[in-house]
Amino acid sequence: MKPSCNGIDTATLQATVDAVRSRPSLARFRFRVRNRWVSGSRSQGWITEFFGAGQEHLHRRGDMVLHADQPAVLVGGDEAPAPIEHLLNALAACLTSSLVQAAAREGISLTAVESAVECDVDLLASMGLPRGATPKIRVMMRVKGEAAAAELEALVDGSRNASPVYDIITNGVPVTIAINTG
Amino acid sequence: MKPSCNGIDTATLQATVDAVRSRPSLARFRFRVRNRWVSGSRSQGWITEFFGAGQEHLHRRGDMVLHADQPAVLVGGDEAPAPIEHLLNALAACLTSSLVQAAAREGISLTAVESAVECDVDLLASMGLPRGATPKIRVMMRVKGEAAAAELEALVDGSRNASPVYDIITNGVPVTIAINTG
């Protein structure tokens, strides 16, 4: 096996998979984000640390910040991507990273992965009106690499099962909200 | 009604709600994100335009860019937030913006909205191993404003129904993936 494939250290990847296979609890992660309202529809998110592979970790770049806003037509300032746009990018990034890691595990060199994601969503409920149609998401993925088309298609298919964001968005997950007004 | 509440132009907000009430198709939006693999687990997302309120719109800041990566313990470069962290921030930002807009519609001034979101997720499937437990998301929201605690709590409750990202994550939505290997 090559020491690196698709920019991923394949020896470390294989060691990680082996470690998790022998001790599955290492695959339990807890990701955390803090978010603060700025003004109007704007908010700022901070990402600092997470738990995984049996211990706490700090992200090596320190606090990473994400900005969100609503577009002007939704009475926002349009200073940053809308929350749904963040969600769509999370999906594309997760599918892409899952695909690239799966390819690296199989020793398939990729040369390009591009995706276009779109979401049809009815915002009636956002305006306090009765709920509209269920949202729908479409992903168009273009994948090039040193493998037959059928092999690349199988990789994309596999990346659905490997992507936690795809899992969350397609199957839905329980979300509890605790409120503190103190 | 005050001309502005929580940094939101309440006259425009009311006019928007009235317009949508009389013509519900104005609430149909299509959000779009393009994403490109960089190397390893890194990808870059672009957000440029969207459809809504009956027409196409360009975001006024031009292309907005979002970076994602995986942490080192997941064999990434840890150069940017992980896809799941992007998803969690999308949720916090959407709940916050829904809450602030609902408060503005009711003329309730808010002074602070902060949230901490965490997601327990088992990444066995990401490593090509049999799927682990269903992910769980918890949101802790701290809300302060010029209203009784019960009123603020009702606003947070309402923001669940108003938030399209909360809707997508809790109920799940169909995601189709089209593949192009050409």
Closest CA–CA distance from residue B3 to any residue of chain A (Å):
13
Total CB pairs under 8 A between chain A and B? 485
Pairing of strands B42-47, B55-58: unpaired
Facing residue for A27 by CB, picked from B64, B70, B123: B123
SS3 A51: strand
Terminus-to-terminus CA distance in chain B, angstroms? Answer: 57
Which percentage of chain B shows pLDDT scores above 90? Answer: 94
Q: Which of A87, A136, A163, A171 to probe the B interface (max B CBs under 10 A)?
A: A87
Closest CA to B46 of B24, B26, B63, B71: B63
Query: What is the pairing mode between strands A4-5 and A42-47?
Result: unpaired
* Closest chain A C-alpha to B5 CA, distance in angstroms: 8
Q: Do A139 and B170 touch (CB under 8 A)?
A: no
What was the pLDDT predicted at A108?
96
Q: CA of A1, closest CA in chain B: separation in Å?
A: 16
pLDDT in tens, B6-61: 999 999 999 999 999 999 999 999 999 999 999 999 999 999 999 999 999 999 98
> A125 contacts in B (CB within 8 Å)?
161-162, 164, 167
How does DSSP assign chain A, residue by residue? --SEETTEEHHHHHHHHHHHHH-GGGGEEEEEEEEEEEETTEEEEEE-EEEETTEEEE-TTS-EEEEE---GGGTS--SS--HHHHHHHHHHHHHHHHHHHHHHHHTPPEEEEEEEEEEEEE-TGGGTSPP-SPPEEEEEEEEEESS-HHHHHHHHHHHHHH-HHHHHHHH---EEEEEE--
**Which pTM was predicted?**
0.97
CB atoms near residue B181 (< 10 Å)? 17
Which position has the token pair 């809790």? Answer: B170
Pair of tokens at residue A69? 């806003």
Overall average pLDDT of the B113-128 stretch? 96
Distance CA(B115)–CA(A147), nearest Å, equals 45
Instruction: List pLDDT tens digits, range B86-96.
Output: 999 999 999 99
The tokens for B67 are 């970076």
Q: Above pLDDT 90, what percent of chain A? A: 94
Return the pLDDT at A125: 93
Measured between CB atoms, which of A8, A129, A143 is closest to B40? A8
- Residues B142-172: pLDDT tens digits? 999 999 999 999 999 999 999 999 999 999 9
Interface mutation vs chain B, best among A12, A25, A56, A88, most B CBs within 10 Å: A88
The minimal CB distance from B168 to the residues A6, A24, A87 is found for: A87
Give the chain A residue whose CA is nearest to the CA of B34: A116
Note the ipTM here. Answer: 0.97
CA distance B1 to chain A (A): 16
Nearest to A124 among B27, B89, B165 (CB): B27
In a 3-state reduction of DSSP, which class is residue B69? coil
Mean pLDDT of A25-30: 97
Task: Dump pLDDT digits (tens) for A43-83.
Answer: 999 999 999 999 999 999 889 999 999 999 999 999 999 99
Residue B101 has pLDDT above 60, yes or no: yes
Nearest residue of chain A to residue B122 (CA atoms):
A28
For residue B35, the distance in angstroms to the closest alpha carbon of chain A comes to 5
pLDDT band, residue B182 (cuts 50/70/90): confident
Helices (H) and strands (E) in chain A, counts: 4, 10
pLDDT at A2: 57
- State yes or no: pLDDT of A1 exceeds 80: no
Quick: pLDDT tens for A98-116: 999 999 999 999 999 999 9
How close, in Å, is residue A134 to chain B by CA atoms? 7
Of the two residues A2 and A173, the one the predictor is more confident about is A173
Q: What is the pLDDT of residue B180?
A: 96
How far, in Å, CA of A166 to CA of A113, rounded?
A: 17
A52 contacts on B by Cβ (under 8 Å) = 71, 73-74, 123
Query: Is there a contact between A50 and B172 if contact means CB atoms under 8 Å apart?
Result: no
> What span, in angstroms and rounded, lies between the C-alpha atoms of A97 and A103?
10
Which one-letter DSSP state was computed for residue A109?
A: P
Q: Which residue of B has its CA nearest to A83?
A: B90
Type of residue at B34: R
Q: Which residue has the tokens 């470690």?
A: A19
pLDDT classification of A182: cutoffs 50, 70, 90: confident
Residues of A in contact with B49 (CB under 8 A): none
Instruction: Report which of A19, A15, A158, A101 is spatially closest to residue B83, judged by C-alpha positions.
Output: A101
For residue B115, give the nearest of A32, A77, A57, A29 by alpha carbon.
A32
Residue A102 pLDDT: 95
The answer to whether A175 and A143 are in contact (CB under 8 A) is: no
DSSP helix/strand/coil, B54: coil
Tell me which of B26, B41, B114, B144 to substitute to probe the interface with A (most A C-beta atoms closer than 10 Å): B41
pLDDT band at residue A174, thresholds of 50, 70 and 90?
very high
Q: How confident is the model at residue A3 (pLDDT cuts 50, 70, 90)?
A: confident
Q: Among B31, B69, B116, whose Cβ lies nearest the Cβ of A32?
A: B116
Indicate yes or no: CB of A128 within 8 angstroms of CB of B140: no
